[in-house]
Amino acid sequence: MDIGTRWKAYEFRWAMESEWTSAIRMIWRTFLTFEGREYSQEGIQNFYNFITGDKLYFMFLKGEYQLMVALDRGHIIGAGSIRNRNQLSLLFVEEAYHRMGVGSTILRKLCDYLRNEEGEQCMFVQAAPYAVNFYRKQGFRTLRSEMEVSGIRVTPMEKTF
């Protein structure tokens, strides 16, 4: 499967090492805009520590934390990753690109990759409050009600292929 394809003017592909910092900065900005107001200070700090810690970066370098990016003329406008075989992690799209199909396209490409390249039959996500309706529209079902882990509010969801 050719992950590196264009949709409209946007490019979708696996991130290069040199793009890690830009992707994390976009994720952080978007988190603060849409999720930060819903989280406690503990949750905000834990999220920041998760995305900026060396552990995640080293997992990315070893191929254990695959990150797909969406670019508009070379600028990262969206990102989504896979960890623990089939768990969606850090699906974020810059505010100016919301409702333009960027998040849906990243998600579809990650699902296609898991199904066609890895033989997975489902994808899991710990959906943030702001994203629950988006995931429902993408075919995810709620596994249990919202819970809080280390100040981070999530709803466990699953999509079968």
Judged against a pLDDT cut of 70, whether residue 155 lies above it is answered with yes
Tell me what the mean pLDDT of segment 25-31 comes to: 97
Tell me what the mean pLDDT of segment 13-23 comes to: 97
What is the average pLDDT value for the chain, to the nearest integer? 93
Tell me what the mean pLDDT of segment 39-60 comes to: 94
pLDDT of residue 1: 46
pLDDT of residue 149: 87
Beta bridge partners of 156: 126
pLDDT of residue 8: 62
63: Cβ contacts below 8 Å, ≥ 6 apart:
none
Beta bridge partners of 141: 158
Judged against a pLDDT cut of 70, whether residue 105 lies above it is answered with yes
Tell me what the mean pLDDT of segment 99-119 comes to: 96
User: Phi then psi for 4, rounded to 5 degrees?
Assistant: -80, 75
Judged against a pLDDT cut of 80, whether residue 2 lies above it is answered with no
Report the b/e string of 53-71 with b at 16+ CB within 10 A. eeebbebbeeeebbbbbbb
pLDDT digits (tens, 9 = 90+) for 65-89: 999 999 999 999 999 999 999 999 9
pLDDT of residue 38: 80
Tell me what the mean pLDDT of segment 105-113 comes to: 97
Between 79 and 1, the higher pLDDT residue? 79
Judged against a pLDDT cut of 70, whether residue 6 lies above it is answered with no
Tell me what the mean pLDDT of segment 91-106 comes to: 96
